[in-house]
């Protein structure tokens, strides 16, 4: 039985953010967070060193799972639509990285198929859940977890935010569930310009 339930509510640490700062519609970290240095496995089975591969790019990092009924597809579709509006040269400066928090069921092929439905350039990564949770902790977000159900399946709980790392390195903004396509379209060009 696939994990189909999802809880993506904020994890209680939202007090570290301020809603919309300056001209951005995302929630701004009061202090920038360093871009984490981790290496997980991509959907081709190759190591993906996040720090090195995303250096110099506007990077969106999201932790989710492919059978999520709402949070994950809403984020990915809204972001893909906004990125599709960019000129080619700007789109090449953006990386979207999805890390599964359901590695037991999200096979590389499944992740690739799911991401391709939004944008084939999106990067999909797998790692043991404890390693993914370690990175979430660095980003001041609570851990993802699996909650057993009576039918021997499980539900997945995970933070609902996409973290945006500016081209110069650190994370300054996060985007909670409920971020609309118009918000992405508004913020992405400004993030590319260093606003």
Residue 121 is part of a domain; what is its CATH number? 3.40.30.10
Per-residue confidence (pLDDT) for residue 16, from 0 to 100: 39
The answer as to whether 25 is a domain residue is: no
Task: Say how far residue 126 (Cα) sits from the centre of its chain.
Answer: 13
The answer as to whether 1 is a domain residue is: no
The answer as to whether 118 is a domain residue is: yes
Per-residue confidence (pLDDT) for residue 2, from 0 to 100: 43
d(CA 54, CA 155): 31
Burial code (b: 16+ CB inside 10 Å, e: under 16) for 59-82 equals: bbbbbbbbbbeebbbbbbebbbeb
Per-residue confidence (pLDDT) for residue 119, from 0 to 100: 97
Per-residue confidence (pLDDT) for residue 12, from 0 to 100: 36
Per-residue confidence (pLDDT) for residue 195, from 0 to 100: 59
Q: Which domain holds residue 139?
A: 63-195
pLDDT means per 10 residues, the chain with 195 residues, are 46 40 83 97 98 97 94 94 96 97 96 98 97 96 91 88 96 93 94 83
Going from the C-alpha of 146 to that of each of 7, 114, 149, the distances in angstroms are: 10, 21, 9
The answer as to whether 44 is a domain residue is: no
State the pTM of this model.
Answer: 0.89
Helix, strand, or coil (residue 41): strand
The answer as to whether 188 is a domain residue is: yes
The answer as to whether 126 is a domain residue is: yes
d(CA 128, CA 40): 9
The answer as to whether 167 is a domain residue is: yes
Domain count, the chain: 1
The answer as to whether 117 is a domain residue is: yes
């Amino acid at each position: 039985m696939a994990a189909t339930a999802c809880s993506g509510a904020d994890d209680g640490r939202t007090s570290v953010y301020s809603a919309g700062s300056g001209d951005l519609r995302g929630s701004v970290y009061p202090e920038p967070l360093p871009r984490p240095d981790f290496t997980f496995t991509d959907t081709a089975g190759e190591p993906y060193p996040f720090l090195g591969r995303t250096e110099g790019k506007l990077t969106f990092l999201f932790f989710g799972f492919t059978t999520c009924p709402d949070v994950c597809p809403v984020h990915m579709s809204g972001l893909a639509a906004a990125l599709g509006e960019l000129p080619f040269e700007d789109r090449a400066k953006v990386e979207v990285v999805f890390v599964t928090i359901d590695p037991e069921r999200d096979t590389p092929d499944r992740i690739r198929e799911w991401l391709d439905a939004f944008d084939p350039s999106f990067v999909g990564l797998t790692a043991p859940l404890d390693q993914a949770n370690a990175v979430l902790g660095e980003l001041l977000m609570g851990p993802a977890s699996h909650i057993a159900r009576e039918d021997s399946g499980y539900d997945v709980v995970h933070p609902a935010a996409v973290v945006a790392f500016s081209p110069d390195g650190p994370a300054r903004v996060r985007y909670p569930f409920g971020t609309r396509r118009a918000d992405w379209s508004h913020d992405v060009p400004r993030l590319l310009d260093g606003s």
